[in-house]
Structure 1
Amino acid sequence: MRRPIIRPLPTALALASVAALTPLVTQAPAAADSVIIGGSAVRSSEIPWVVALSSRDRFGGTRAGQFCGGVVVAPTQVVTAAHCLSREVLGTTVSEVRDLRVIAGREDLRGSGGHEIPVRTVRLAPGYDPATSSADLAVLTLAAAVPAHYAIATARRGDAAYRPGTPATVYGWGDTTGVGTYSSTLHAARVQVQPDAVCARAYPGSVMGGRYMPATMMCAGDARGGRDACQGDSGGPLVAQGRLIGIVSWGSGCGRADAPGVYTRVGEVLPTVADRH
C-alpha cells in the first residue's frame, strides 16, 4: 500500500521507504512517517548539517518534540519537506505553532546539548502541490545563525550526483524497524540513486499509489530492499558526493525492493524558492 503523500518523518531514520502517517500519541497531531531502515547510528557532530524540527506543544516532550528532519544550507537557512508544515501533520496551521524550532548539534534528543533555534519565517516552494507532492520543499529562516561550518553544499541541476547508481546516504530520527521503533539518536542508511524508469514503474499513479514526477522528484533505495527512509524521516537529507541532492518526501512501505523512497529533487526545486540565502 502506498505511503500517504503527507508524511513528515519525525524520529529515527529507517532505511526503508516512507510509510503512512503515524500519530506519535493518541489524540495528538499526526507525525511524519518515514524512518531509517537498514541503517546505523551516526554522530551529529560529524554531520552537523542534519537537524531536527521540533514542537513540544504539538508532539510532546519525548525526543524534544521532534517530528521531521531538515538540513542546514546556510547559517540561517534550513531546507525541509513542505508537507512537514501542513495542517495534516501539525494539526493546525504552521502560523499557530508558536514553539516551532530547529535542533542542531544534539547527539541525543533526550538530552540538552546543541542549539535550539526558533524559526522566524517559512517559505514553501512556489510549485508545491500537496495533492501530488510535486516540489515538496520548504525553506525555514532561523531567528539566529548556526556556525557556518554546519551548512552543506547543494546540488545543482544536472549534477553528476544524480546519475543512476550513485551511492547516497539518507539521514533521520525516524522508525528504524517499520513498526514504530523511533530513535532518539541520529541514524543513516546507504542507498543508491535509482533510474527514473525504475521510479516510474514503481509509482505509475494507480488508484492505490502516487505518481512519480521526474521534473521535481528522484528516488533512491536498494535493489534488494531493506534500506530506506520511513516514518519520522520526512524532510531529512539525501546526500551524495558531499552534496545535498534530495529531501525525504514519500513512498510505499519501508525498505521494499519494488518501491524505492521518493525524494524532492533539490537541484530543480530549491532554486525556485526566492530569497533562500
Structure 2
Amino acid sequence: MRRPFVRALARPLVLAAALSAIPLASVAPAAADGIVVGGFPVDASESPWVVALSSRDRFGGTRSGQFCGAVAVGPKTVLTAAHCLSEDALGAPPEQTRDLKVITGRTDLRSAEGREIPIRESWVNPKYDSESNAGDFAVLTLAESLPRRAVMGMAAAGDPAYEAGTGAMVYGWGDVTGAGDYATGLRAARVHVLPDTLCEEVYPGMGGGAYLADAMVCAGEKVGGRDACQGDSGGPLVAQGKLIGLVSWGSGCGRVGSPGVYTRVSDVIRRLGWESAAQESK
C-alpha cells in the first residue's frame, strides 16, 4: 500500500505506470504474510466505502486500471491523496485523463462486479507540499451517487480515535511484499496509531519528507511487518469506525522503525470547513 513509484523516503505510494522501470534492488524488502504487507483479504461488501481509482489508458486493464485507493465520505464525495492526481502519476492533469473513474463494490480487480463511476470533478489541495508531503489530499465528485451504507464517517479534531495506541485498519489493493507484488483482491492490515514523537524522530525532514503532527498521523507497528505500500496511496486508515487517515508516504513497506505516515483527516476537515459534516457522521 502507498506512494507513487518506489516507496522510498518521502515518496508517496502510487502504483508506478511502468513497473518494469522500477529497479527492484532499490525496493526495501518487507516482512509480510503474502497479503497487503502483513494483512489479510477482505470483501468489498464488508467495507463498501473503500474504492479504487482507475485509468486503463494509463495503467492497463489487467487490474481494472487501479493505481490508487480512495474512500467515500459522501454519496458523491470521495477523498484520496493529492499525489495520486499529480502529472507524475497520471501523465496529465486529472481533468485531461478521460477515463478516470472510481470503482466501487469490486473485491477482485479482475472481475466485473460492482460499478465504475466517472469522476465529474476533481479538486487537488493547492497547498499540497510535495517536499514535506503536507496537505496530501484531494476531493473527487462522482457523476453518480453511492448508497448511504457506502459512506464512511470522519473523525474530527479531538476524537479519541487519534490517540496513540488505538487499533486501526488500513485498506488497499497495493503491493503485498514491498517488491512489486500487487494484489488483485482487496486487502486490509491491522496497525496501531503511534506517538507523533516517533514519526517526528524518524522523519525530521532532512533529505526527505517531514512529519508534521497537525497534518499527519503516524501508524503501523513498532516491530514492522504490517503497513501500507505502493498502490495503496489515498486509501483509508480507519479507527473506532471512523476515517482518521489517508495513505500518504513513508520509508519502505513494513520496515522496523519506519512507520507509515497518513494525511490527518481532522486537518482535511478543518481546511475544507467540513466540521458540520463530521459532526453529522458521529
Q: Compute the TM-score of the two structures, normalised by the length of structure 1.
A: 0.88
| In 1: Cα distance, 2:274 partner to 2:194 partner | 31
Q: Deviations over 1:220-256 (max 9, x none)?
A: 0101110100111000000000000000000000101
| Higher relative contact order, structure no. (Cα contacts within 8 Å, ≥ 6 residues apart) | 1
Q: Tell me the CA shift for residue 192 of structure 1.
A: 0.4
8 Å contact kept, 1:248–1:264 = yes
Summarize the alignment of residues 59-74 of structure 1 with structure 2, pairs less than 5 Å apart. Answer: 59-74=59-74
In 2, distance between residues paired with 1:134 and 1:68? 18
Shift of 1:211: 1.1
Preserved contact between residue 6 and residue 89 of structure 1 (Cα < 8 Å): no
The Cα of 1:139 is off from its aligned counterpart by: 0.8
- Indicate whether 1:9 and 2:14 are aligned: yes
CA distance in 1, matches of 2:211, 2:274: 28
The runs of 5 or more residues in structure 2 that have no matched partner are 1-5, 23-34, 278-282
| TM-score normalised by the chain length of structure 2 | 0.87
* Matches of 2:96 and 2:10, distance apart in 1: 23
**Which residue of structure 2 lines up, in the alignment, with residue 168 of structure 1?**
168
What is aligned with 2:109? Answer: 109
Q: Which residue of 2 aligns with 1:217?
A: 216
Could you tell me which residue of structure 2 aligns to residue 51 of structure 1? 51
- Where does 1:169-184 land on structure 2 (aligned, <5 Å)? 169-184=169-184
CA–CA separation in structure 1 for the residues paired with 2:37 and 2:21 = 27
TM-aligned CA deviation for residue 150 of structure 1: 0.1
User: In the alignment, is the contact (CA less than 8 A) between 1:171 and 1:233 conserved in 2?
Assistant: yes
Q: Any gaps of 5 or more consecutive residues in structure 1? A: 11-21, 29-34
Query: Which residue is equivalent to 2:29?
Result: none
2:129 aligns with: 129
**How many pairs are equivalent?**
260
Letter in 1 for 2:249: W
Kindly indicate whether the alpha-carbon contact (under 8 Å) linking 1:41 and 1:186 is maintained by their aligned counterparts in 2: yes
Describe the superposition over 1:15-60 as per-residue Cα deviations: whole angstroms up to 9, x where unpaired. xxxxxxx4444479xxxxxx93100000110000000000001111
CA distance in structure 1 between the partners assigned to 2:105 and 2:145 by the alignment: 13
1:270, distance to aligned residue in structure 2 (A):
3.0
Secondary structure at the residue paired with 2:198? helix
Instruction: Report which stretch shifted further, 242-251 or 87-96.
Output: 87-96
The Cα of 1:257 is off from its aligned counterpart by: 2.0
Distance (Å, rounded) in 2 between the aligned partners of 1:203 and 1:121 = 34
Is the Cα contact below 8 Å between 2:7 and 2:253 reproduced in 1? Answer: no
Query: How much is the aligned-residue C-alpha RMSD, in angstroms?
Result: 2.1
Distance between the aligned counterparts of 2:127 and 2:178, measured in 1?
A: 31
